[in-house]
Amino acid sequence: MVTAVRHLGPNWYASVMGTAIVATAGAGLPLHLPGLRTACAAVWALSLAMLLALLAARTLHWTHHRDQARAHLLDPGMAPFYGCLAMALLAVGGGGLVVGRDWIGLGAAVALDTVLFGAGTAVGLTAAVAVPYLMAVRHKVHPSQATPVWLLPVVAPMVSAALGPLLVPHLPPGQPRETLLLACFAMFGLSLLATLLMLPLVFARLVTGGPLPFALTPTLFLVLGPLGQSTTAVGKFADFAPGVVPVAYAQGFTLLAVLYGVPVMGFALLWLGLATAHVVRARRRGMRFAMTWWAFTFPVGTCVTGAESLARHTGLAVYDGLAIVLYGVLVAAWATAAVHTARGLLSGALLAGPRPAPVALRPVTARTT
């Protein structure tokens, strides 16, 4: 077991995020299908089990393979995935309060989310500072190396912003509630501005440097994460602001939910089309499964919750329909990634070390004398 986790990187937390969002997004659908909420609770329980297993495995990794763990931190392609640890903690905690409470009870769900939200927010804020610092000081990256993976550490606080309001009603009235809500709004701004700084680098790399390598092509879906999650966040602010902040602020949050959410969701759909086109091209040219396929899950799930929020605040049936269609895409993507991941675990291929680069033979020169 100790040897098996040597190459287990923080990117594996993406599978926890992708599983938890299936439960959270499904619980908010405008459907009343028999057994849907029970199925969502079961998926949430699976995400909790996956989180606990991964936390144990990563503890073994850091305990017995510190050299490899440090190498991951110094690798510009792997270090940004530490944002996934924060988002996995937050997604499972928030899912417990949304749907897991059906099985474990409201009190246990609040306690679990309090712990996971606190830990996830602390890790997310740390990653949002530490990873860009390492990129500037130690990684020495070039603009041609920019990929959507760079967004992961700065998106983590946006997940806190979207899920933190769920805890507001469980705090004492007055300043505790208002402080948490406005702290979530501050993290919304922090993450949004950081994303606006990073996203132009990614887009410039894409249009000037050509398509991403096949293994990284699915990461184009990561751009949907801050778009869908920020739309979800402003909807949550509007949901929980009444009675917590002054009336004028609450009305402002209600306006923001629509005036911000509608155009951002429009851009998310544009990017979804662009990313899908790149994936189809790569798949036709031989793209094989990699753990980056989990990028098809959580970001799409945030667009589902964003569409659900817009449906509530606009009353438009078109957003209900959009949420249902995107949720179908999410479930299909999750099932595909889960099956391939299970196969890779059983075969040992996903936990194997990177293959060494082939050594080119020196040309043989015949002597003429």
* Local confidence pLDDT in tens for the 369 residues of the chain: 577 778 888 999 999 999 999 999 999 999 888 899 999 999 999 999 999 999 999 999 888 888 888 888 888 889 999 999 999 999 999 999 999 999 999 999 999 999 999 999 999 999 999 999 999 898 888 888 899 999 999 999 999 999 999 999 999 999 999 999 999 999 999 999 999 999 999 999 999 988 999 999 999 999 999 999 999 999 999 999 999 999 999 999 999 999 999 999 999 999 999 999 999 999 999 999 999 999 999 999 999 999 999 999 999 999 999 999 999 999 999 999 999 999 999 888 888 766 544 444 444 444 444
Which CA distances in Å does 342 have to 212, 252, 334, 338, 346?
26, 46, 12, 6, 6
Q: What integer pLDDT is reported at residue 354 of this predicted model?
A: 62
- 328: which residues sit within 8 A by CB, 6+ positions away? none
Phi, psi of 4 (to 5 degrees): -65, -25
Distance CA 161, CA 260 (A): 15
Distance CA 221, CA 218 (A): 6
Quick one: DSSP state of residue 171? Answer: S
Which structure tokens are listed for 214?
Answer: 């096949």
Q: What integer pLDDT is reported at residue 331 of this predicted model?
A: 97
Q: What integer pLDDT is reported at residue 273 of this predicted model?
A: 97
Distance CA 10, CA 279 (A): 24
If residue 212 lies in a helix (H) or strand (E), which one and from where to where? none
Q: How many CB atoms lie within 10 A of CB 243?
A: 11
Quick one: DSSP state of residue 233? Answer: H
Q: What integer pLDDT is reported at residue 63 of this predicted model?
A: 87
- The pTM of the full predicted model, rounded to 2 decimals, is 0.92
**Which residue type occupies 103?**
W
On whether the CB atoms of residues 261 and 306 are closer than 8 A, the answer is yes
Distance CA 29, CA 309 (A): 10
- Look at residues 223, 353, 333, 225 and name the one whose alpha carbon lies nearest to residue 289: 333
Q: What integer pLDDT is reported at residue 364 of this predicted model?
A: 44
Which structure tokens are listed for 270?
Answer: 């544009």
